Amino acid sequence: MLDPKTVADLAQPFLPQTYLRMMRVVHRASPLGMGFGNTRFSSPNKTFQLIYIARDLATAIAETIVRDRFECVRDRVLDEPEIGEWVVCEVSATDPLLVLDLRTTGLLRPGVSTDASRAKVHAEGQTLSEEVYSTFDVGGLPYLSRLTASECIAVYDRAVNIKLEASRSTELVCRPDLIPALRSGTPDATRSFRFTGSPEELLH
């Protein structure tokens, strides 16, 4: 069990601005919509819902589209139709969220396994999240993407509904930073992403 004093010491106000949320086109009318799923910090008992937002487009793409599909694969290919299935919106907080920060010592100090935010499997993260949500008045969990080491935030429904606002969603293919974001997924130019259309065609 988490020590309340340690959690109180780690809890802090956080005001995310212009973070990015990716969703499939079918959900574009509800940019802050939520549902139950099997994700890193989701509720195994369907006690709560949450959304995930990322600090940059490369991380949003890595966490939602790419995941582990290119492990040990030299030829990394994303088809143009697949890119076309996604939209992006910007999400900002209108008031600071009270968060339990997992980016630095948020796992070490309470004695929580680092698997909670860094493992491929989600059991540890879900267990932690369930306890945090049911025991403490916390609005979200900032953490570092295991894929890009960049910042992400899991925001609980109780904070989404009253403290977040979202811009109108836009097609991922229309983002001017799409190609750089995709190519940042690999530092080796010989292992860059390819498309079934040229990058220029994707943006028109």
Per the CB < 8 A criterion, the answer to whether 46 and 133 are in contact is no
183 token code pair: 């190519």
Residues 6+ apart with CB under 8 A from 187: none
Residues 6+ apart with CB under 8 A from 170: 87, 88, 89
Residue 90's closest CA among 49, 60, 117?
Answer: 60
Task: Determine the pLDDT at residue 1.
Answer: 85
Task: Determine the pLDDT at residue 75.
Answer: 65
Q: How far apart are CA 119 and CA 131, in angstroms?
A: 18
SS3 content of the chain, % helix, strand, coil (to 5): 30, 20, 45
Task: Determine the pLDDT at residue 104.
Answer: 86
Task: Determine the pLDDT at residue 167.
Answer: 97
Q: How far apart are CA 54 and CA 32, in angstroms?
A: 14
Q: How far apart are CA 97 and CA 189, in angstroms?
A: 39
Boundaries of every domain in the chain = 4-198
**Spacing of C-alpha 24 from chain mean position:** 14
What element of type H or E holds 86? strand 86-93
Per the CB < 8 A criterion, the answer to whether 41 and 155 are in contact is no
Q: How far apart are CA 24 and CA 83, in angstroms?
A: 10
- What does the pLDDT profile of the chain (204 residues) look like in tens digits? 899 999 999 999 999 999 999 999 999 999 999 999 999 999 999 999 999 999 999 999 989 988 756 655 666 667 677 888 999 999 999 999 999 999 988 889 999 998 998 888 899 999 999 999 999 999 999 999 988 999 999 999 999 999 999 999 999 999 999 988 887 764 432 234 455 454 444 433
Q: How far apart are CA 67 and CA 3, in angstroms?
A: 33
- 3-class DSSP assignment, residue 149: coil
